[in-house]
Structure 1
Amino acid sequence: MTSTVQNRPVVPPTRRRPGGPPLPLLVLCALVATVVSAWSIGFAPATLVDGLDEVWALLERMLPPRLEDPGRIGVLAVETLLMAVLGTVLAAIASVPLAFLAARNTTPHPAVYAAARAFVTFCRAMPDLLFAVLFVRALGIGVLPGILALALHSIGMLGKLFADAIEQTDAGPREAVRSTGAGYLREMVNAVIPQVIPSWIGTFVYRIDINLRMSVVLGFVGAGGIGFALQDALRGLIYPRALGIVLVILVIIAAMELVAIGVRQMLLAPGQSHPQRDRAIRFMFSGLLGGVTVAALVVLEINPQSLLTWVWPSIEVFTRMVPPNFEALGGALAEAAVQTVAIGVVSTAIGIVLSVPVGILGARNTTPHVGVYWLARGWILLVRAVPELILAVVFVAALGLGPVAGTCALAIGSIGFLAKLVADSIEEIDPGPIEAVNSVGGGWWKTLCAAVLPQAMPAMVGSSLYMFDVNIRTSTILGIVGAGGIGFLLFESIRTLNFDVAGAIVIVIFVIVYAIERLSGWIRSRLV
C-alpha cells in the first residue's frame, strides 16, 4: 500500500539509531559474506557463463510451447486459484482472534501474548511446502493438504500484520466505548475493528496474490493444483508441454496481480467524500468473497467437516518427529544448513545489484521515457509471475543438480521482487528535492544521485533485508528438485519415513529462519 507523499519530509539516507551499525560497515560485511558464500557453493561468474549455453539449449527444446488437454489444464488452473482463495480465507478467519491475543494493547495476559506471538512466528518460519509434505503424509494426496498448508503458513503473515495494525490503533475510541460500560467484546468490535479494517483488507488481498504463487507449486508434493501437471511434464522430459503449462501459470498470476492492484485501489481509496459508496463496495467485495469461498468448497469437493477433522491425523504424523534424531545425518546436516544460508546470501546479493537499475527505470518519476517505463514494468511483472521452484527446475535441468541452480533461480526471483519494491519506493519520495535540482539545470544523473537515491535509500535497505529473509525461507525447500540446500535431506527423510530425522531437520530450518529474521529485523530497526 502506498501513502501520501506531498507533505512527507525528506528522509536522510542513514537515519541510524544509537548503537546501530553504520551503513558502510553493513555493506562491507555483506560483500565479505557474499564472497565467502559464493566460494563455499562453487558459484562463479565463469561457471554461470559456461552454463548459459545449456540454458539456451533447454529453452530451444521447450519451443514451441504445446498445451495438450487444455480442458484438464483449465480445471487444474481453476483448482489452483480456488485453493489460494480458500486457504487465505481460512487463514484470515483464524488470524483475527489470534491477532487480538498477539497485540499488546488487546491481549488479556502477557503469557497469552507470548504464546500467540510464538505460534505466529512458527507459522511464518516454516515453509508452506514443508507443511504440504507433512499434510500429504497425514491426509493423502489431494487439494486439502495444499489448502491447509497455505492457510497455516499464511497465519504467520496475517496474524503478525493484523496484530501490528491493532497495536497502532488510537486508544481514544476504546476509552469512549469503555466509558459507556461496554464489555471487552463490544469494545473490540465497536472501537478497534473499524480502525483496522482498511489495513486488514489490504493485507488480505496481498496475501491472496502471494498464495496464488505458492499454490502453483504445491502439486510437486501431491497437494493439488496445476503444479502436478507441470511436474508430470518435467518428469517425462516433455518440455514443450511444460512450457505451455508455465505460460498458463504466467497468465493466471499476472491477471491475478492486476486484479489485486485494482481491488486494493478500489477498497482502500480515501472515502471521506463518498462513505456510502465505499461501504457498498466493501459489502459487494465481502459478498463476492463469500460466494467464491462457497464455490471453492463445492468445486474442490471439500467437506466442511474435514476442515476440523484433519487435526488428529496430522498430529499423529507431527508427533512422529519427536524426539528428533540429530545423529543420523552427522556432518551432512550442518553442511546442508550452511549451503542453504549461502544460497540465500548470494542470490540476494545478485538480486540487489541487478534490481536497482530496473527499479529506477520502472519508476514514473525517474524513468527517462514512458516506453522504458512500460518495458521495465513488464519485465518486473514477467519475472515475478514465475515461482522460484519452477525456475529451479529449469536451472537444474540446464546446469545440473546442486546449489548453483538454486542460487540462479532465487537470484532471478529476487530481481523481479526487489525491482518492484525499489520502483514503488522511488515513486513515493518527496518531489520537492527533484524539482529543486531540475530548477538549477541538473541533468538526469544529477537528479538521480542528489535527490532520488538519498530519499529512497532507507526503503531500499529495508527491502533488501526483507528479501534476504524471504530467500532464506525459500532456499530451505529448493532441495525438493535437486537445487541444493537442506531441503533435499528433509524431503528424502520424509519420503523414507524417517520422521525423527525430519524432526531434526525441521528444528534446524526453524533456527536458521528465525535467526535470520531476528538479525534482519534488528538491522532494519537501526538503519531504516
Structure 2
Amino acid sequence: MSSTVKDRPVASHTGGRPAGPPRPGLLPLLAAAALGCTVLSAWSIDFAPATLLNGLDEIWALLDRMLPPRLDDPGRIGVLAVETLLMAVLGTVLAAIASVPLAFLAARNTTPHPAVYAVARAIITFCRAMPDLLFAVLFVRALGIGVLPGILALALHSIGMLGKLFADAIEQTDPGPREAVRSTGVGYLREMVNAVVPQAIPSWIGTFIYRVDINLRMSVVLGFVGAGGIGFALQDALRGLIYPRALGIVLVILAVIAAMELVAIAVRRMLLTPAVSNPRRDRAMRFGFCGLLIGLTVAALLVLKINPLSLLTWVGPSIDVFARMIPPNFATLGGALFEATVQTVAIGVVATAIGIVLSIPVGILAARNITPNAAMYWAARGWILLVRAVPELILAVIFVAALGLGPVAGTCALAIGSIGFLAKLVADSIEEIDPGPIEAVHSVGGGWWKTLFSAVIPQAMPAMVGSSLYMFDVNIRTSTILGIVGAGGIGFLLFESIRTLNFDVAGAIVIVIFVVVYAIERLSGWIRSRLV
C-alpha cells in the first residue's frame, strides 16, 4: 500500500508532510526521556519481569482450562457475529454522513469563518478523545440495553477520526479546479461538489474502509456494557467461568475480524489503484461500492431491527443523562481520582514501551522486501493478524483471570495489542522505503544485517517514530476503559460511578479523561512535528 493518507489513514498523523530524517539531537533526548518515564511508570504500578515470570504458570493453567474450544450454540453465535459486523458498518456509515459536512467546516480552505472552524475542530477533538466504550455506557443508561447504544457509540467516536482525516484530505486538494469552477459564477455548494469532492473521494474511501475495520474490533467489546453484539455472549461465558466456550467465541471473533481485514485490503486496492487506461472501470467500481454500502446499510437496519426514526430521537434521552453529569463532582473521590489517573497514564507508557521493543523485530520479518525468507514472512504476518484480531479488552479479561486484578494485567493486555498494531506499521513503512540504498549495500557485498542497519532502519526511522507516538496516543485512550474488567486505571472508578448512578462523579471523571487524552495527543503531535 502507499503511505499516503489515501491508502493508509493511520499515516495521516504525520500531517501530510513528507517524511525526513529526525532532527539531530532530539531523538536521543526523546529516547532517554521515554526510558526514564517507562522505568518510573513501571515502578509506580509494580510492573516487573519477576511479576510476569511468577504469573506464567497461572497463564498456562488458564489456557489449558480453555482447551478444547467449543461452541454450545453455533446458530446464536453466528447471528451475534453478523449483528456485530452490521453494527460496525452502520456505525461507520452514520459517522461518515455526519463527518462530510463537518469536515468542510473544519478544513481551513473551505470553512466559511474562523469561528466555525474552531467549533468544528472542537467537536472532532471531543469525539476522538472520548473512548467509544464510555459513549456506549452512557447510551445504554439513556436508551437501555441493545444494539442502538452500541451503534451510536461507534458513530460518535468514529466522527473523531473520520472528521479529522476527511478535513485533512480537503485541505490537501489542489485549489486550481476550485478557481476554475468559481470563475463560472456558481455558488459555494456547487464549487465544493464539483471541484473539491472529486479530489477528496479516494482518500475518503480509504479512510472509511479502514474505519470499518477498526469499528468491527471495537463492536466486539461493546457487549461487555450491554450495547449488543457478540461481546455479550463472550462476557456471559467468562462470567460463568466457562472458558472452553469463551475460547470458542474468541476464535469466531478472530475469524470474522481476519476475514474482514482481508476483504478490506482487497477492496482498498481495487478502489484506490487507478486504471489510467480505463476510467470507466474506476467509476463503475466506485458506484458498485456505493451500491454495496447502501445495501449493507439497509440490511443492518432490517436485521438489527433499528427504526430509522430512532437514529434521530435518541438525542432527548441522551441529553437528559449527559446533563446529570453537570456540575461535575471532584470532591467525592478526592485523591483516589488523581491516583487512578496516574495509574492510567503509567499503564499506557509501559505498554507502549513494551510494544515498541517487541514489535520492531516482528515488523522487520513481516516486510516483504527485507525478510530473510517466505516462511518467516508468513509466520510474522500471521502473528500480526492473530494479535490484532483480539481486542485489548478481551486480552485484559484473560490476564485478569490469570494474574489477578490490577494494572499489571491491563499493561500486559495493552502491550500485546501494541505489538500487533506497531509491527504492522513497521512492516508497512519498511516495504515503502527507497530500494536504492538496499541495492547499493548489496552491490558491495553487504549481508542481511549490514543491509538492515545501513539501508533499512535509517530510512524507516521517521515513520517508526511517528507510529510509536501514535500508538502511545491510542494506548492512553484504551487504558482509560480497562478498569471495566478490573485491569487497573481510571475506568474502574468511571464505570462504578455510572453503575451506582453517581453521574456528577462520572462527570468529573469524564473531564479528567478528556484532559489527559487531549494533553497526550497535543504532546505527541508536538513531538512528531519536531522529529518526523
Verify same fold: TM over 0.5. Answer: yes
**1:309 aligns with one of 310, 313, 321:** 313
- Give the aligned partner of residue 458 of structure 2: 454
Is 1:366 paired with 2:370?
Answer: yes
Partners of 1:190 and 1:53 in 2: how far apart? 63
- Give the aligned partner of residue 210 of structure 1: 214
- Give the aligned partner of residue 424 of structure 1: 428
Equivalences for residues 476-515 of structure 1 within 5 A: 476-515=480-519
Is 1:50 paired with 2:54?
Answer: yes
CA contact (8 A) 2:3 2:429 kept: no
- Give the aligned partner of residue 253 of structure 2: 249
CA contact (8 A) 2:388 2:420 kept: yes
Is 1:433 paired with 2:437?
Answer: yes
Q: Secondary structure at the match of 2:418?
A: helix
Partners of 1:446 and 1:12 in 2: how far apart? 22
Pair 1:118–1:71, CA change in 2 (3 A): same
Equivalences for residues 512-527 of structure 1 within 5 A: 512-527=516-531
CA contact (8 A) 2:132 2:154 kept: yes
Q: Secondary structure at the match of 1:325?
A: coil
Q: Secondary structure at the match of 1:169?
A: coil
Q: Secondary structure at the match of 2:400?
A: helix
Partners of 2:273 and 2:174 in 1: how far apart? 21
User: 1:88-130: per-residue Cα shift (whole Å, max 9, x none)?
Assistant: 0000000000000000110111000000000000000000000
Cα distance, 1:13 vs. partner? 3.5
Equivalences for residues 286-435 of structure 1 within 5 A: 286-435=290-439
Is 1:151 paired with 2:155?
Answer: yes
CA contact (8 A) 2:348 2:475 kept: yes
- Give the aligned partner of residue 12 of structure 2: none
- Give the aligned partner of residue 94 of structure 1: 98
Q: Secondary structure at the match of 2:268?
A: helix
CA contact (8 A) 2:132 2:157 kept: yes
**1:163 aligns with one of 157, 160, 167:** 167
Partners of 1:295 and 1:374 in 2: how far apart? 35
Aligned residues between the structures: 521
Q: Secondary structure at the match of 1:253?
A: helix
Cα distance, 1:14 vs. partner? 1.9
Partners of 2:386 and 2:299 in 1: how far apart? 29
Q: Secondary structure at the match of 1:100?
A: helix
Which residue identity does 1:437 align to in structure 2?
A: V
Partners of 2:49 and 2:466 in 1: how far apart? 27
Partners of 1:437 and 1:72 in 2: how far apart? 57
Is 1:39 paired with 2:43?
Answer: yes
TM-score if structure 2 supplies the norm length?
0.97
Partners of 2:88 and 2:313 in 1: how far apart? 21
Is 1:181 paired with 2:185?
Answer: yes
CA contact (8 A) 1:12 1:454 kept: no
Partners of 2:87 and 2:138 in 1: how far apart? 17
TM-score if structure 1 supplies the norm length?
0.98
**1:227 aligns with one of 220, 226, 231:** 231
Which residue identity does 1:2 align to in structure 2?
A: S
- Give the aligned partner of residue 278 of structure 1: 282
CA contact (8 A) 2:22 2:530 kept: no
**1:268 aligns with one of 269, 272, 280:** 272
- Give the aligned partner of residue 139 of structure 1: 143
Partners of 2:425 and 2:55 in 1: how far apart? 29
Cα distance, 1:273 vs. partner? 1.4
Which residue identity does 1:410 align to in structure 2?
A: L
Cα distance, 1:12 vs. partner? 5.5
Equivalences for residues 113-132 of structure 1 within 5 A: 113-132=117-136
User: 1:27-53: per-residue Cα shift (whole Å, max 9, x none)?
Assistant: 000000000000000000000111011
- In structure 2, runs of 5+ residues without a counterpart are 5-17
Q: Secondary structure at the match of 2:204?
A: helix
Partners of 2:416 and 2:465 in 1: how far apart? 19
CA contact (8 A) 2:202 2:272 kept: yes
Cα distance, 1:274 vs. partner? 1.4
Which residue identity does 1:278 align to in structure 2?
A: D
Partners of 1:63 and 1:482 in 2: how far apart? 24
CA contact (8 A) 1:13 1:456 kept: no
Runs of 4+ aligned residues of structure 1 deviating over 4 Å after TM superposition are none
Is 1:14 paired with 2:18?
Answer: no
Q: Secondary structure at the match of 1:508?
A: helix
Which residue identity does 2:219 align to in structure 1?
A: S
CA contact (8 A) 1:174 1:187 kept: yes
Cα distance, 1:271 vs. partner? 2.4
- Give the aligned partner of residue 474 of structure 2: 470
- Give the aligned partner of residue 2 of structure 1: 2
Partners of 2:154 and 2:446 in 1: how far apart? 50
Which residue identity does 1:203 align to in structure 2?
A: T
Q: CA RMSD in A?
A: 1.3
Which residue identity does 2:402 align to in structure 1?
A: A
Pair 1:506–1:161, CA change in 2 (3 A): same
- In structure 1, runs of 5+ residues without a counterpart are 5-9
User: 1:175-198: per-residue Cα shift (whole Å, max 9, x none)?
Assistant: 000000000000000000000000
Which residue identity does 1:267 align to in structure 2?
A: L
